[in-house]
Protein backbone atom coordinates (compact mmCIF):
# COMPACT_ATOMS: atom_id res chain seq x y z
CA UNK A 1 0.00 0.00 0.00
CA UNK A 2 2.87 2.34 0.82
CA UNK A 3 4.13 2.22 -2.79
CA UNK A 4 0.68 2.16 -4.37
CA UNK A 5 -0.14 4.71 -7.05
CA UNK A 6 -3.45 5.32 -5.26
CA UNK A 7 -1.58 6.62 -2.22
CA UNK A 8 0.78 9.04 -3.93
CA UNK A 9 -1.97 10.39 -6.18
CA UNK A 10 -4.46 10.75 -3.28
CA UNK A 11 -3.82 14.48 -2.66
CA UNK A 12 -4.80 15.18 -6.26
CA UNK A 13 -8.06 13.26 -6.50
CA UNK A 14 -9.14 14.01 -2.92
CA UNK A 15 -8.52 17.71 -3.54
CA UNK A 16 -10.54 17.61 -6.76
CA UNK A 17 -13.44 15.89 -5.01
CA UNK A 18 -13.55 18.39 -2.14
CA UNK A 19 -13.16 21.41 -4.42
CA UNK A 20 -15.74 20.23 -6.93
CA UNK A 21 -18.19 19.27 -4.17
CA UNK A 22 -18.34 22.79 -2.79
CA UNK A 23 -18.08 24.44 -6.20
CA UNK A 24 -20.53 22.35 -8.27
CA UNK A 25 -23.13 21.36 -5.72
CA UNK A 26 -23.55 24.91 -4.45
CA UNK A 27 -23.11 26.72 -7.74
CA UNK A 28 -26.86 26.76 -8.48
CA UNK A 29 -28.25 26.07 -5.00
CA UNK A 30 -26.66 28.03 -2.15
CA UNK A 31 -26.16 26.25 1.15
CA UNK A 32 -29.05 28.11 2.79
CA UNK A 33 -31.48 26.96 0.10
CA UNK A 34 -30.25 23.37 0.26
CA UNK A 35 -30.79 22.93 3.99
CA UNK A 36 -34.13 24.78 3.89
CA UNK A 37 -35.68 21.80 2.15
CA UNK A 38 -37.36 19.86 0.83
CA UNK A 39 -34.82 17.29 2.02
CA UNK A 40 -34.93 13.69 0.88
CA UNK A 41 -31.99 11.36 1.44
CA UNK A 42 -32.30 9.45 -1.84
CA UNK A 43 -32.42 12.69 -3.77
CA UNK A 44 -29.42 14.18 -2.00
CA UNK A 45 -27.35 11.03 -2.46
CA UNK A 46 -28.18 10.96 -6.17
CA UNK A 47 -27.39 14.65 -6.62
CA UNK A 48 -24.01 14.39 -4.89
CA UNK A 49 -23.00 11.31 -6.87
CA UNK A 50 -24.01 12.68 -10.26
CA UNK A 51 -20.87 14.79 -10.50
CA UNK A 52 -18.44 12.06 -9.49
CA UNK A 53 -19.37 8.77 -11.19
CA UNK A 54 -17.23 9.41 -14.27
CA UNK A 55 -14.34 10.72 -12.19
CA UNK A 56 -14.40 7.67 -9.88
CA UNK A 57 -14.39 5.22 -12.79
CA UNK A 58 -11.64 7.13 -14.59
CA UNK A 59 -9.35 7.25 -11.55
CA UNK A 60 -9.99 3.58 -10.81
CA UNK A 61 -9.22 2.29 -14.28
CA UNK A 62 -6.16 4.53 -14.51
CA UNK A 63 -4.74 3.35 -11.19
CA UNK A 64 -5.65 -0.28 -11.88
CA UNK A 65 -3.97 -0.12 -15.28
CA UNK A 66 -0.84 1.22 -13.63
CA UNK A 67 -0.88 -1.53 -10.99
CA UNK A 68 -1.52 -4.19 -13.62
CA UNK A 69 1.48 -2.97 -15.55
CA UNK A 70 3.56 -3.06 -12.38
CA UNK A 71 2.58 -6.70 -11.81
CA UNK A 72 3.76 -7.55 -15.31
CA UNK A 73 6.95 -5.50 -15.02
CA UNK A 74 7.86 -7.02 -11.64
CA UNK A 75 7.04 -10.51 -12.98
CA UNK A 76 4.91 -11.18 -9.91
CA UNK A 77 3.17 -14.12 -11.60
CA UNK A 78 6.52 -15.83 -12.20
CA UNK A 79 8.00 -15.06 -8.78
CA UNK A 80 4.99 -16.42 -6.88
CA UNK A 81 3.62 -19.27 -9.02
CA UNK A 82 2.10 -21.02 -6.01
CA UNK A 83 -0.17 -18.09 -5.13
CA UNK A 84 -3.55 -17.85 -6.81
CA UNK A 85 -3.61 -15.18 -9.50
CA UNK A 86 -6.87 -13.78 -8.20
CA UNK A 87 -5.45 -13.29 -4.71
CA UNK A 88 -2.39 -11.51 -6.06
CA UNK A 89 -4.52 -9.30 -8.33
CA UNK A 90 -6.96 -8.49 -5.54
CA UNK A 91 -4.12 -7.43 -3.24
CA UNK A 92 -2.62 -5.22 -5.94
CA UNK A 93 -5.92 -3.67 -6.99
CA UNK A 94 -7.28 -3.01 -3.50
CA UNK A 95 -5.80 0.53 -3.27
CA UNK A 96 -7.28 1.48 -6.68
CA UNK A 97 -10.68 0.17 -5.61
CA UNK A 98 -10.47 2.03 -2.30
CA UNK A 99 -9.63 5.22 -4.20
CA UNK A 100 -12.67 4.80 -6.44
CA UNK A 101 -14.88 4.09 -3.47
CA UNK A 102 -13.52 7.12 -1.61
CA UNK A 103 -14.34 9.39 -4.55
CA UNK A 104 -17.95 8.23 -4.35
CA UNK A 105 -18.20 8.11 -0.56
CA UNK A 106 -16.73 11.53 0.20
CA UNK A 107 -19.39 13.67 -1.52
CA UNK A 108 -22.20 11.50 -0.19
CA UNK A 109 -20.95 11.73 3.40
CA UNK A 110 -20.38 15.48 3.12
CA UNK A 111 -23.83 16.03 1.62
CA UNK A 112 -25.57 14.00 4.31
CA UNK A 113 -23.67 15.84 7.04
CA UNK A 114 -24.58 19.28 5.73
CA UNK A 115 -28.25 18.34 5.25
CA UNK A 116 -28.38 16.39 8.54
CA UNK A 117 -30.12 13.48 6.84
CA UNK A 118 -29.90 9.84 7.88
CA UNK A 119 -29.80 7.62 4.79
CA UNK A 120 -31.92 4.53 4.40
CA UNK A 121 -30.55 1.36 2.77
CA UNK A 122 -32.61 2.08 -0.34
CA UNK A 123 -31.28 5.63 -0.61
CA UNK A 124 -27.74 4.23 -0.82
CA UNK A 125 -28.47 1.99 -3.83
CA UNK A 126 -26.87 4.39 -6.34
CA UNK A 127 -23.76 4.51 -4.15
CA UNK A 128 -23.58 0.72 -3.91
CA UNK A 129 -24.08 0.47 -7.67
CA UNK A 130 -21.18 2.86 -8.25
CA UNK A 131 -18.94 0.96 -5.83
CA UNK A 132 -19.70 -2.28 -7.65
CA UNK A 133 -18.89 -0.72 -11.02
CA UNK A 134 -15.62 0.62 -9.58
CA UNK A 135 -14.60 -2.99 -8.92
CA UNK A 136 -15.42 -3.87 -12.53
CA UNK A 137 -13.27 -1.01 -13.84
CA UNK A 138 -10.42 -2.18 -11.62
CA UNK A 139 -10.49 -5.63 -13.17
CA UNK A 140 -10.55 -4.23 -16.71
CA UNK A 141 -7.75 -1.81 -15.87
CA UNK A 142 -5.54 -4.56 -14.51
CA UNK A 143 -5.96 -6.48 -17.76
CA UNK A 144 -5.07 -3.38 -19.78
CA UNK A 145 -1.90 -2.98 -17.74
CA UNK A 146 -0.85 -6.48 -18.77
CA UNK A 147 -1.24 -5.95 -22.50
CA UNK A 148 -0.07 -2.34 -22.96
CA UNK A 149 2.70 -0.14 -21.55
CA UNK A 150 1.34 1.33 -18.34
CA UNK A 151 2.90 4.76 -18.92
CA UNK A 152 0.66 5.14 -21.96
CA UNK A 153 -2.26 2.87 -21.12
CA UNK A 154 -3.03 4.29 -17.66
CA UNK A 155 -3.61 7.95 -18.62
CA UNK A 156 -5.29 7.01 -21.90
CA UNK A 157 -7.67 4.62 -20.13
CA UNK A 158 -8.52 7.23 -17.47
CA UNK A 159 -9.21 9.99 -19.99
CA UNK A 160 -11.17 7.69 -22.29
CA UNK A 161 -13.33 6.39 -19.46
CA UNK A 162 -14.08 9.88 -18.19
CA UNK A 163 -14.92 11.17 -21.67
CA UNK A 164 -17.14 8.24 -22.66
CA UNK A 165 -19.07 8.14 -19.38
CA UNK A 166 -19.53 11.91 -19.33
CA UNK A 167 -20.81 12.01 -22.90
CA UNK A 168 -23.40 9.25 -22.58
CA UNK A 169 -25.85 11.83 -21.24
CA UNK A 170 -26.01 13.31 -24.74
CA UNK A 171 -27.30 10.11 -26.34
CA UNK A 172 -30.91 10.08 -27.45
CA UNK A 173 -30.82 7.59 -30.32
CA UNK A 174 -30.02 4.98 -29.23
CA UNK A 175 -31.00 5.81 -25.70
CA UNK A 176 -29.66 2.78 -23.87
CA UNK A 177 -26.06 4.10 -23.42
CA UNK A 178 -27.46 6.76 -21.08
CA UNK A 179 -28.78 4.08 -18.77
CA UNK A 180 -26.02 1.45 -18.84
CA UNK A 181 -22.99 3.72 -18.47
CA UNK A 182 -22.98 3.66 -14.67
CA UNK A 183 -23.72 7.39 -14.44
CA UNK A 184 -27.38 7.40 -13.50
CA UNK A 185 -29.31 9.50 -15.99
CA UNK A 186 -32.56 9.46 -14.02
CA UNK A 187 -33.18 12.32 -11.61
CA UNK A 188 -35.41 11.42 -8.68
CA UNK A 189 -37.88 13.74 -7.03
CA UNK A 190 -38.84 14.14 -3.39
CA UNK A 191 -40.28 10.92 -1.98
CA UNK A 192 -38.90 8.76 -4.78
CA UNK A 193 -36.36 5.94 -4.81
CA UNK A 194 -34.61 4.27 -7.69
CA UNK A 195 -36.31 1.04 -8.68
CA UNK A 196 -34.11 -2.05 -8.72
CA UNK A 197 -33.73 -2.22 -12.54
CA UNK A 198 -32.39 1.35 -12.69
CA UNK A 199 -29.31 0.47 -10.64
CA UNK A 200 -29.08 -3.22 -11.53
CA UNK A 201 -28.88 -2.77 -15.32
CA UNK A 202 -25.73 -0.59 -15.37
CA UNK A 203 -24.08 -2.74 -12.70
CA UNK A 204 -24.68 -5.97 -14.63
CA UNK A 205 -23.56 -4.36 -17.89
CA UNK A 206 -20.17 -3.53 -16.37
CA UNK A 207 -19.88 -6.59 -14.13
CA UNK A 208 -20.20 -9.15 -16.91
CA UNK A 209 -17.45 -7.42 -18.88
CA UNK A 210 -15.17 -7.59 -15.85
CA UNK A 211 -16.14 -11.22 -15.30
CA UNK A 212 -15.29 -12.15 -18.88
CA UNK A 213 -11.92 -10.38 -18.53
CA UNK A 214 -11.17 -12.10 -15.23
CA UNK A 215 -11.94 -15.54 -16.65
CA UNK A 216 -9.06 -15.13 -19.10
CA UNK A 217 -6.71 -15.50 -16.16
CA UNK A 218 -7.97 -19.01 -15.47
CA UNK A 219 -5.40 -21.68 -16.10
CA UNK A 220 -5.85 -25.38 -16.69
CA UNK A 221 -6.72 -27.57 -19.62
CA UNK A 222 -10.31 -26.36 -19.94
CA UNK A 223 -9.56 -22.65 -19.81
CA UNK A 224 -10.76 -22.08 -23.39
CA UNK A 225 -14.15 -23.55 -22.55
CA UNK A 226 -14.50 -21.19 -19.62
CA UNK A 227 -13.39 -18.27 -21.71
CA UNK A 228 -15.96 -18.96 -24.42
CA UNK A 229 -18.74 -19.42 -21.86
CA UNK A 230 -17.77 -16.17 -20.12
CA UNK A 231 -17.64 -14.25 -23.40
CA UNK A 232 -21.03 -15.58 -24.50
CA UNK A 233 -22.57 -14.84 -21.11
CA UNK A 234 -21.21 -11.29 -21.22
CA UNK A 235 -22.58 -10.64 -24.70
CA UNK A 236 -26.03 -12.01 -23.86
CA UNK A 237 -26.23 -10.10 -20.57
CA UNK A 238 -25.11 -6.84 -22.20
CA UNK A 239 -27.69 -7.30 -24.95
CA UNK A 240 -30.44 -7.91 -22.40
CA UNK A 241 -29.40 -4.84 -20.41
CA UNK A 242 -29.29 -2.65 -23.52
CA UNK A 243 -32.68 -3.93 -24.66
CA UNK A 244 -34.19 -3.29 -21.22
CA UNK A 245 -32.78 0.24 -21.06
CA UNK A 246 -33.99 0.99 -24.60
CA UNK A 247 -37.53 1.02 -23.27
CA UNK A 248 -36.79 3.82 -20.80
CA UNK A 249 -37.09 7.49 -21.62
CA UNK A 250 -34.52 10.26 -21.47
CA UNK A 251 -33.72 10.78 -17.78
CA UNK A 252 -36.65 8.49 -17.04
CA UNK A 253 -35.50 5.17 -15.64
CA UNK A 254 -37.86 3.27 -13.32
CA UNK A 255 -38.48 4.89 -9.93
CA UNK A 256 -40.88 4.23 -7.09
CA UNK A 257 -42.71 7.06 -5.33
CA UNK A 258 -44.55 7.88 -2.13
CA UNK A 259 -41.83 6.88 0.34
CA UNK A 260 -41.43 10.16 2.26
CA UNK A 261 -42.61 10.32 5.85
CA UNK A 262 -45.61 12.52 6.63
CA UNK A 263 -46.98 14.38 9.61
CA UNK A 264 -50.75 14.67 9.91
CA UNK A 265 -53.11 16.66 12.08
CA UNK A 266 -56.86 16.91 12.64
CA UNK A 267 -59.79 15.03 11.19
CA UNK A 268 -62.40 15.79 8.52
CA UNK A 269 -60.23 16.90 6.92
CA UNK A 270 -57.08 15.20 8.10
CA UNK A 271 -54.24 17.29 6.67
CA UNK A 272 -50.86 15.70 5.97
CA UNK A 273 -47.61 17.33 4.91
CA UNK A 274 -44.15 15.98 4.12
CA UNK A 275 -42.08 15.63 7.30
CA UNK A 276 -38.90 16.95 5.68
CA UNK A 277 -40.54 19.14 3.07
CA UNK A 278 -39.32 22.34 4.67
CA UNK A 279 -42.68 23.74 5.80
CA UNK A 280 -44.13 21.12 8.14
CA UNK A 281 -43.88 23.54 11.08
CA UNK A 282 -46.80 25.39 9.49
CA UNK A 283 -49.01 22.28 9.38
CA UNK A 284 -51.52 23.56 11.96
CA UNK A 285 -51.68 26.91 10.22
CA UNK A 286 -52.22 25.26 6.84
CA UNK A 287 -55.04 23.08 8.19
CA UNK A 288 -56.73 26.08 9.79
CA UNK A 289 -56.54 27.88 6.44
CA UNK A 290 -58.07 24.89 4.65
CA UNK A 291 -60.90 24.61 7.19
CA UNK A 292 -61.57 28.35 7.05
CA UNK A 293 -61.66 28.31 3.26
CA UNK A 294 -64.11 25.40 3.18
CA UNK A 295 -66.31 27.15 5.73
CA UNK A 296 -66.31 30.39 3.76
CA UNK A 297 -67.25 28.57 0.58
CA UNK A 298 -70.09 26.81 2.37
CA UNK A 299 -71.30 30.04 3.91
CA UNK A 300 -71.34 31.63 0.44
CA UNK A 301 -73.60 28.88 -0.86
CA UNK A 302 -71.09 26.66 -2.63
CA UNK A 303 -71.94 22.97 -2.33
CA UNK A 304 -68.70 21.66 -0.84
CA UNK A 305 -67.91 18.04 -0.02
CA UNK A 306 -65.32 18.04 2.76
CA UNK A 307 -62.66 15.43 2.00
CA UNK A 308 -61.52 12.97 4.62
CA UNK A 309 -57.86 13.70 3.85
CA UNK A 310 -55.93 16.53 2.27
CA UNK A 311 -52.44 15.31 1.37
CA UNK A 312 -49.34 17.17 0.31
CA UNK A 313 -48.66 17.06 -3.41
CA UNK A 314 -44.94 17.13 -2.66
CA UNK A 315 -45.22 13.46 -1.68
CA UNK A 316 -45.83 12.67 -5.37
CA UNK A 317 -44.07 15.38 -7.36
CA UNK A 318 -44.34 13.23 -10.48
CA UNK A 319 -47.28 10.97 -11.33
CA UNK A 320 -49.41 12.47 -8.59
CA UNK A 321 -52.60 10.49 -7.87
CA UNK A 322 -55.86 12.06 -9.00
CA UNK A 323 -57.81 13.80 -6.28
CA UNK A 324 -61.07 12.12 -5.28
CA UNK A 325 -64.03 13.26 -3.20
CA UNK A 326 -62.43 11.68 -0.13
CA UNK A 327 -58.75 12.49 -0.76
CA UNK A 328 -57.35 15.70 -2.16
CA UNK A 329 -53.78 16.16 -3.33
CA UNK A 330 -52.83 19.82 -3.02
CA UNK A 331 -49.48 21.69 -3.23
CA UNK A 332 -49.40 22.39 0.49
CA UNK A 333 -45.64 22.57 1.04
CA UNK A 334 -45.10 24.49 -2.19
CA UNK A 335 -47.45 27.21 -0.94
CA UNK A 336 -46.59 27.11 2.76
CA UNK A 337 -42.86 27.55 2.21
CA UNK A 338 -43.26 30.94 0.54
CA UNK A 339 -40.85 33.48 1.98
CA UNK A 340 -43.62 36.03 2.60
CA UNK A 341 -45.70 33.51 4.58
CA UNK A 342 -48.80 34.17 2.46
CA UNK A 343 -51.19 31.21 2.26
CA UNK A 344 -53.24 32.52 -0.66
CA UNK A 345 -51.99 29.58 -2.70
CA UNK A 346 -53.50 27.16 -0.18
CA UNK A 347 -56.87 28.90 -0.40
CA UNK A 348 -56.62 28.88 -4.18
CA UNK A 349 -55.88 25.14 -4.27
CA UNK A 350 -58.86 24.46 -1.99
CA UNK A 351 -61.04 26.62 -4.22
CA UNK A 352 -60.13 24.67 -7.36
CA UNK A 353 -60.77 21.40 -5.53
CA UNK A 354 -64.12 22.57 -4.18
CA UNK A 355 -65.86 24.21 -7.14
CA UNK A 356 -67.11 21.50 -9.47
CA UNK A 357 -69.37 21.45 -12.50
CA UNK A 358 -71.81 18.72 -13.61
CA UNK A 359 -70.17 18.66 -17.04
CA UNK A 360 -66.75 18.59 -18.69
CA UNK A 361 -64.92 21.50 -20.31
CA UNK A 362 -61.89 21.70 -22.61
CA UNK A 363 -58.61 22.20 -20.76
CA UNK A 364 -57.43 25.00 -23.08
CA UNK A 365 -58.44 27.04 -26.11
CA UNK A 366 -57.89 25.59 -29.59
CA UNK A 367 -59.30 26.52 -32.99
CA UNK A 368 -62.43 24.68 -33.98
CA UNK A 369 -63.72 24.09 -30.46
CA UNK A 370 -66.43 26.36 -29.08
CA UNK A 371 -65.39 28.67 -26.23
CA UNK A 372 -68.83 30.17 -25.57
CA UNK A 373 -68.83 28.59 -22.12
CA UNK A 374 -65.80 30.52 -20.91
CA UNK A 375 -67.48 33.69 -19.63
CA UNK A 376 -70.03 31.94 -17.44
CA UNK A 377 -67.62 29.25 -16.28
CA UNK A 378 -64.87 31.68 -15.32
CA UNK A 379 -67.27 34.20 -13.79
CA UNK A 380 -68.65 31.52 -11.47
CA UNK A 381 -65.18 30.49 -10.30
CA UNK A 382 -64.01 34.10 -9.98
CA UNK A 383 -67.04 34.86 -7.81
CA UNK A 384 -66.16 31.91 -5.56
CA UNK A 385 -62.51 33.00 -5.53
CA UNK A 386 -63.50 36.40 -4.15
CA UNK A 387 -65.30 34.73 -1.26
CA UNK A 388 -62.02 33.15 -0.09
CA UNK A 389 -59.65 35.94 -1.17
CA UNK A 390 -58.05 33.83 -3.88
CA UNK A 391 -59.01 35.97 -6.88
CA UNK A 392 -55.49 37.18 -7.66
CA UNK A 393 -53.91 33.81 -8.59
CA UNK A 394 -57.05 32.78 -10.48
CA UNK A 395 -57.11 35.97 -12.55
CA UNK A 396 -53.37 35.74 -13.19
CA UNK A 397 -53.81 32.22 -14.58
CA UNK A 398 -56.85 33.05 -16.72
CA UNK A 399 -55.26 36.18 -18.16
CA UNK A 400 -52.47 34.02 -19.46
CA UNK A 401 -55.00 31.65 -21.00
CA UNK A 402 -57.02 34.48 -22.59
CA UNK A 403 -53.96 35.52 -24.57
CA UNK A 404 -54.53 32.45 -26.74
CA UNK A 405 -57.76 33.88 -28.15
CA UNK A 406 -58.21 36.97 -30.33
CA UNK A 407 -60.68 38.80 -28.06
CA UNK A 408 -59.01 37.88 -24.78
CA UNK A 409 -59.25 41.38 -23.29
CA UNK A 410 -62.97 41.50 -24.06
CA UNK A 411 -63.53 38.09 -22.48
CA UNK A 412 -61.68 39.16 -19.34
CA UNK A 413 -63.81 42.28 -19.03
CA UNK A 414 -67.04 40.28 -19.39
CA UNK A 415 -65.87 37.71 -16.81
CA UNK A 416 -65.06 40.41 -14.27
CA UNK A 417 -68.33 42.20 -15.00
CA UNK A 418 -70.45 39.10 -14.45
CA UNK A 419 -68.54 38.13 -11.30
CA UNK A 420 -69.06 41.66 -9.95
CA UNK A 421 -72.78 41.37 -10.70
CA UNK A 422 -72.99 38.17 -8.68
CA UNK A 423 -71.11 39.71 -5.77
CA UNK A 424 -73.40 42.75 -5.75
CA UNK A 425 -76.56 40.78 -5.07
CA UNK A 426 -77.97 41.67 -1.65
CA UNK A 427 -78.54 38.29 0.00
CA UNK A 428 -76.59 35.06 0.36
CA UNK A 429 -79.45 33.10 -1.18
CA UNK A 430 -79.51 35.29 -4.27
CA UNK A 431 -75.75 35.08 -4.71
CA UNK A 432 -75.82 31.30 -4.33
CA UNK A 433 -78.68 31.07 -6.83
CA UNK A 434 -76.73 33.22 -9.29
CA UNK A 435 -73.70 30.95 -8.86
CA UNK A 436 -75.69 27.81 -9.66
CA UNK A 437 -77.28 29.45 -12.71
CA UNK A 438 -73.86 30.50 -14.03
CA UNK A 439 -72.66 26.93 -13.70
CA UNK A 440 -75.75 25.59 -15.46
CA UNK A 441 -75.43 28.09 -18.32
CA UNK A 442 -71.74 27.26 -18.74
CA UNK A 443 -72.65 23.59 -19.07
CA UNK A 444 -75.33 24.35 -21.66
CA UNK A 445 -72.75 26.21 -23.75
CA UNK A 446 -70.01 23.61 -23.31
CA UNK A 447 -68.93 21.65 -26.43
CA UNK A 448 -70.03 18.04 -26.74
CA UNK A 449 -68.01 15.66 -24.53
CA UNK A 450 -66.35 14.00 -27.53
CA UNK A 451 -65.09 17.41 -28.74
CA UNK A 452 -63.73 18.32 -25.33
CA UNK A 453 -62.07 14.91 -25.00
CA UNK A 454 -60.50 15.17 -28.46
CA UNK A 455 -59.24 18.66 -27.67
CA UNK A 456 -57.66 17.46 -24.47
CA UNK A 457 -55.89 14.69 -26.36
CA UNK A 458 -54.64 17.02 -29.10
CA UNK A 459 -53.28 19.56 -26.64
* Res 362: pLDDT: 83
Q: Mean pLDDT of all residues in the chain? A: 87
Q: How many CB atoms lie within 10 A of CB 222?
A: 10
In this predicted structure, the answer to whether residue 458 has a pLDDT above a threshold of 50 is no
Whole-number CA gyration radius for the chain: 30
CA distances from 288 to 12, 27, 267, 276, 395 (A): 55, 38, 12, 20, 24
Query: In this predicted model, which residue has the larger pLDDT, 227 or 286?
Result: 286
pTM for the model stands at 0.83
Taking only the tens place, the pLDDT of each residue in 310-355 is 999 999 988 888 899 899 999 999 899 887 888 999 999 999 999 9
Query: Sign of the CA dihedral 180, 184, 189, 191?
Result: positive
How large is the average pLDDT for residues 168-185?
87
* Res 297: pLDDT: 95
- The answer to whether 422 and 434 are in contact (CB under 8 A) is yes
370 HSE (CA, 13 A, CB side): 14
- The answer to whether 336 and 282 are in contact (CB under 8 A) is yes
In this predicted structure, the answer to whether residue 456 has a pLDDT above a threshold of 60 is no
Q: Which letter does DSSP use for residue 339 in this model?
A: T
* Res 451: pLDDT: 58
Q: How confident is the model at residue 368 (pLDDT cuts 50, 70, 90)?
A: low
Q: How confident is the model at residue 162 (pLDDT cuts 50, 70, 90)?
A: very high
3-state helix, strand, coil in the chain (%, to 5): 65, 5, 30
* Of 126-135, 199-208, 318-327, 435-444, minimum mean pLDDT range: 318-327
In this predicted structure, the answer to whether residue 2 has a pLDDT above a threshold of 70 is no
Taking only the tens place, the pLDDT of each residue in 42-95 is 999 998 898 899 999 999 999 999 888 887 776 665 555 556 667 777 788 899
CA distances from 84 to 78, 80, 98, 417 (A): 12, 9, 22, 89
Alpha-carbon span 276 to 385, nearest angstrom: 31
In this predicted structure, the answer to whether residue 454 has a pLDDT above a threshold of 50 is no
* Res 388: pLDDT: 95
* Res 1: pLDDT: 46
Alpha-carbon span 46 to 193, nearest angstrom: 10
> Is the bond into 269 cis (omega within 30 degrees of 0)?
yes
Percentage of the chain beyond pLDDT 70 is 91
Alpha-carbon span 176 to 190, nearest angstrom: 25
* Res 70: pLDDT: 80
Amino acid sequence: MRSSSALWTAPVWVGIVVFYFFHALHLEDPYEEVIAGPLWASQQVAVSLGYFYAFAYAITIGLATWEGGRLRKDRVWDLAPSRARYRVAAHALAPAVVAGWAILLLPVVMRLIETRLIPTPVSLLPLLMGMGIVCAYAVVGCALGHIAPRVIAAPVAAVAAFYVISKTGAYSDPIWPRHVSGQLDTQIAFGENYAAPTVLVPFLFSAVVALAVAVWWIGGTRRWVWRMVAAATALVTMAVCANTASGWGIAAGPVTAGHAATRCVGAAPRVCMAETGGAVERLEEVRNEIVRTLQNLKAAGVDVTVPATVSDGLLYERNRPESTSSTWWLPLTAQAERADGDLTGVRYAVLLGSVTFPCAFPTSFVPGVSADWVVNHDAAILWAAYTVEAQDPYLAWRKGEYQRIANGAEVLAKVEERAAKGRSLPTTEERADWFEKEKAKACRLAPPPEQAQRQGTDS
